[in-house]
Amino acid sequence: MTAEMLRMAGMGLLTSVVAPALLLLTARHLPWHRVPAPPLLVLTGFVLLHGLVVVVSAGHHLAAGADLALHAGLLLAAMVFWLPVLGPGRRLPDALRSVYLFVAGPALDLAAIYVIIIGHSAAGLAMIVGMLPIPLAAIGITWRWITREEHAWSA
């Protein structure tokens, strides 16, 4: 396993696992409800930022400080990305959370496809695998929404 594969898998997991976990852990202690997070702007901005970070770091050995700054910025932006889905006090309705995540998954994978195209197939695939929790979360939210609607109709 190469260092680049680990770094790309780490970026995927940072976005799909670490950021939502930190958001949930800090929801009671930090004023996340004050952070403006219009879903369309947040999704578009995060997809663009994520792509930029991947393009800048793919296949390059950055200085430790620059790499740390890129990852810290990506983590903070990923936490804002998850606000419409998990944020305290202003979550989107289940149907919109589902659509938000189903759109985000393939859009974020475009950066990994770029990594594959430039010849780093294993690293790109590692990032895609690291991002799998996003569509899994979309499936879970969709399932919960459908079952809740069905219970409401049958009651």
C-alpha distances out from residue 63 to 49, 66, 135, Å: 19, 5, 33
Q: Over the stretch 85-132, which tens digit does the pLDDT of each residue have? A: 998 877 899 999 999 999 999 999 999 999 999 999 999 999 999 999
Q: In 3D, which of 35, 39, 57, 27 has the Cα closest to residue 104?
A: 39
The single residue listed with the structure tokens 């202003």 is 90
Q: pLDDT value at position 74?
A: 95
The residue whose two tokens read 């979360």 is 137
Whole-model pTM above 0.85?
Answer: yes
| Confidence at 80, pLDDT banded by 50, 70, 90 | very high
Question: Tell me: the pLDDT tens digits for 42-73?
Answer: 999 999 999 999 998 887 778 888 888 999 99
How confident is residue 1, by pLDDT bands cut at 50, 70 and 90? Answer: low
Measured at the alpha carbon of residue 73, what is the angle toward residues 68 and 75, in degrees to the nearest 5?
95
On whether the CB atoms of residues 46 and 80 are closer than 8 A, the answer is yes
